[in-house]
Structure 1
Amino acid sequence: MTVRLDDAKVGDAVVAKSFPAITRAKLALYAGASGDHNPIHIDSDFAKKAGFPDVFSHGMLVMGLLGQAVTDAVSPDRLRAFSTRFVAITQLGAAIACEGTVAELFEADGERRARLALTARDETGDVKLAGEAIVAL
């Protein structure tokens, strides 16, 4: 269960959003919108020749899902920083669950802030992205 950020304490979950499975259509739409037409993400034959079982998601697509989860939980005008680290490839068909917990409460530049520890996991629980966000309280 998530709590309101204004009432949150260290360890509280404040971000929780799930996304449906990543489809070939979603990869194609993302490639068109982003301009990233790397064949590893859209051409099955190319991906298989490179040693993968099939195409896989753009890392930035998964990062965008995590960013959406954060800004659905916290108003974008309260976001001070957002960063991620790519941990593992996100396979075609993966459903992504994004979570964020309060890791630290502190003051900076005259405002109360929270550092959120973020993860994006697939349906098996494998972490695909890890990151953090700094938000004003």
Structure 2
Amino acid sequence: MSATLTAGQVLPGFTTRITRADLVRYAGASGDFNPIHWSDSAAAALGLPTVIAHGMFTMGLALRVVTEVTGDPGAVVSYYVRFTKPVPVPEDGTEVRFAGVVTEVTEGIAKISVEAAVADQSVLGAAVVEVRLG
């Protein structure tokens, strides 16, 4: 990995639009065909306003904040996420903003706090990535 990371460093974030087509592709790749990810009626039956993105899909997108800086997905040592809010995906899609900040660098391991938000509402809690430096 060629990136140098220091405590307090803000990583370049990004915003992406998640569409229902993305959910269909993710369902096919992951095998998670739960209808709350593609059926408005199934989502409504559970009290959801619309279909929601797969949590693991959102988690994977958030990890890009780190891997795009490090250039090496294999440098990720650990990744912890608590899902706090679902990501609603109406028919026209939804924008999700991802960001990260290095919170600690110790003995060649950087800890990075990662954030994902929809309309300024956090959808991940306590998301922390540990990445091996060097």
Given that 2:88 and 2:94 are in contact with CA atoms closer than 8 Å, whether structure 1 keeps it comes out as yes
**Structure 2 counterpart of 1:39:** 35
Cα distance in structure 1, aligned partners of 2:46 and 2:129: 34
Given that 2:11 and 2:65 are in contact with CA atoms closer than 8 Å, whether structure 1 keeps it comes out as no
Deviation track 1:53-88 (CA, whole Å, cap 9, x = no partner) reads 211111111011012232111122322212211111
* Residue in structure 1 matching 2:47, options 51, 57, 65: 51
Count of residues paired in the alignment: 127
Deviates further, 76-85 or 32-41: 76-85
Is the aligned partner of 1:14 residue 2:32?
no
**Structure 2 counterpart of 1:119:** 115
- 2:16 is matched by which residue type in structure 1? F
**Identity over aligned residues, as a percent?**
33
Given that 2:49 and 2:88 are in contact with CA atoms closer than 8 Å, whether structure 1 keeps it comes out as no
Deviates further, 67-76 or 51-60: 67-76
**Structure 2 counterpart of 1:88:** 85
Q: What secondary structure sits across from 1:70 in the alignment?
A: helix
Cα distance in structure 1, aligned partners of 2:95 and 2:128: 21
* Residue in structure 2 matching 1:129, options 120, 124, 134: 124
Deviation track 1:25-65 (CA, whole Å, cap 9, x = no partner) reads 11111111111011111111111122222111111110110
Q: What secondary structure sits across from 1:120 in the alignment?
A: strand
Given that 1:101 and 1:116 are in contact with CA atoms closer than 8 Å, whether structure 2 keeps it comes out as yes
Given that 1:5 and 1:14 are in contact with CA atoms closer than 8 Å, whether structure 2 keeps it comes out as no
Structure 1 length-normalised TM: 0.83
- 2:14 is matched by which residue type in structure 1? K
Q: Which residues of structure 1 form unaligned runs of 5+? A: none
Q: Which residues of structure 2 form unaligned runs of 5+? A: none
